[in-house]
Structure 1
Amino acid sequence: MVEFKESMMKEFDMTDLGKMKYFLGIEVVQFDDGIFISHAKYVMEVLRRFGMEHSNSVENPMVPGFKISKDENGIEMDGSFFKQLIGSMMYLTATRPDIMYALSLLSRRGGSHELIGFTGSDYVGSVEDRRSISGYVFMLSGAVVTWSSRK
């Protein structure tokens, strides 16, 4: 391991910062018997950003059996604020898969539920190796559900 690190430092301009502690908002703690990851710092930043730092914590992300319905007499919410909140929470599902169901219910969009697909290909399109390039994307209600790009 030390030899590899030294050879990389000779080849590339880099600095040894020691063991990784944070990566893309995820706290990483390394032990001899395993690695622990946590989003605790990111969660606190999200709570502060959306003014929820004093909210009560719960064991379940959603009350079992609870049904969400539209409040016709409710206050209209800023759509961009709501999308930012849901997007910030979706990032947490990497370490908290238990919140995925509740987030997917909250992030449902109205509209036609229309499935749209786009495809494209270029036969022998790569100039370097004359290989074909193809791809597709499928969207449901304006959100990408699957995509691929191949050479």
Structure 2
Amino acid sequence: MFGEFKEVMTKEFEMTDIGLVVYYLGIEVNKREDGSFISQVGYAREILKKFRMDNSKSINTPVECGVKLSKHDEEEKVDPTFFKSLVGSLRYLTCTRPDILYAVGLVSRYMEDPTTTHLKIAKRILRYIKGTIDFGLLYSTSNHFKLEGYSDSDWGGDIDDRKSTTGFVFFMGDTAFTWMSKKQPIVTLSTCEAEYVAATSCQSYVNYPQEAHRPPSLEELKEMAGEDILENN
């Protein structure tokens, strides 16, 4: 299959075969006996140095549990351009780091008028990255291909508009392959309703028609392996 694809592409485009991919747009691919490990170690080091956090003290979590931020924070303002650059750099790191997705999404809400409070939370993420810089995703060569989705939600976590935050992640076998953390579009009236909104978003991702460039489709994978979506309340 790979040989046929390469043959067709070389007929259409001028190409050079330089072997297996090892680096692509800041993402490192390490082929191992047990699978393919993808990470952004080099990119993470670059942003730590760029924002002068390479000598900072590492920390065990990207955000404190229960932290509440507001657009009406009265602390000193910081340079919005600097803050946007920091958050944008962190957002690209979520390509291989779903563990920071919620924290990055949280600080992304305050790019218009950031304060020192918001900047402190963003820099905490960098401190967490420093201590977990070699984290990544291992896509194993095992034959375990069951598709599982997990969803969750807080309730009224945003103190400015009382909207909740949805989070979900899909696993193929034992590795995550897609994930999301996003504020819900409506104000829910109970924890149960917020959880239903989160579960619906998760299920919609499975049901949504997949683009033609994603073979095999999720529907084909579901037929092949079965599907579970797990939710708590």
TM-score (normalised: structure 1): 0.62
Q: Deviations along 1:77-110, whole A, 9 cap, x unmatched?
A: 1101000100110111121112111112212136
Q: Residue 76 of structure 1 corresponds to which residue in structure 2?
A: 77
Q: Which has the higher contact order (CA 8 A, sep 6+)?
A: 2
2:60 partner amino acid: E
Report deviation, 1:34. Answer: 1.4
Aligned letter for 1:95? T
Q: What CA distance in whole angstroms lies between the structure 1 residues aligned with 2:93 and 2:69?
A: 22
Give the equivalent residue in structure 1 for 2:49.
Answer: 48
Establish whether residue 38 from structure 1 lines up as the match of residue 30 from structure 2. no
CA separation in 2, counterparts of 1:11 and 1:63?
A: 52
Q: Deviations over 1:25-50 (max 9, x none)?
A: 10001124311000111100111111
10 and 89 in structure 1: CA distance in 2 versus 1, 3 angstrom threshold: same
Q: Give the counterpart letter for 2:90 in structure 1.
A: M
Please name the residue that 2:140 is paired with.
none
Look up the match of 1:14.
Answer: 15
The amino acid that maps onto 2:58 is S
| Match status 1:103 vs 2:104 | yes
Q: Secondary structure at the match of 1:29?
A: strand
TM-superposed deviation, 1:59:
2.1
Q: Output one character per residue of 1:107-130: Cα deviation in whole Å (capped at 9) or x when no partner.
A: 2136998xxxxxxxxxxxxxxxxx
Identity %: 50
Q: SS of 2:94's equivalent? A: helix
User: C-alpha offsets along residues 50-98 of structure 1, whole Å, 9 cap, x if unaligned?
Assistant: 11111122221012223335652x4321101000100110111121112
What is the count of residue pairs matched by the alignment? 113
For residues 66-145 of structure 1, what are the structure 2 equivalents within 5 Å?
66-68=67-69, 72=74, 74-109=75-110
Distance in 1 between residues matched to 2:98 and 2:53, nearest whole Å = 21
Give the whole-Å Cα distance in 1 for the aligned partners of 2:24 and 2:96: 13
CA distance in 1, matches of 2:4, 2:66: 57
In structure 1, the gaps of 5 or more residues are 114-139, 141-151
2:67 is paired with a residue whose SS is: coil
Q: Secondary structure at the match of 1:17?
A: coil
**Greater helix share, structure number:** 2
Distance 1:100 1:12, change over 3 A: closer
Structure with max Cα Rg? 1
TM-score by length of 2: 0.42
Tell me the distance in 2 between the aligned counterparts of 1:2 and 1:88.
36
Q: Which has the higher strand share?
A: 1
Distance 2:5 2:108 in 1: 46
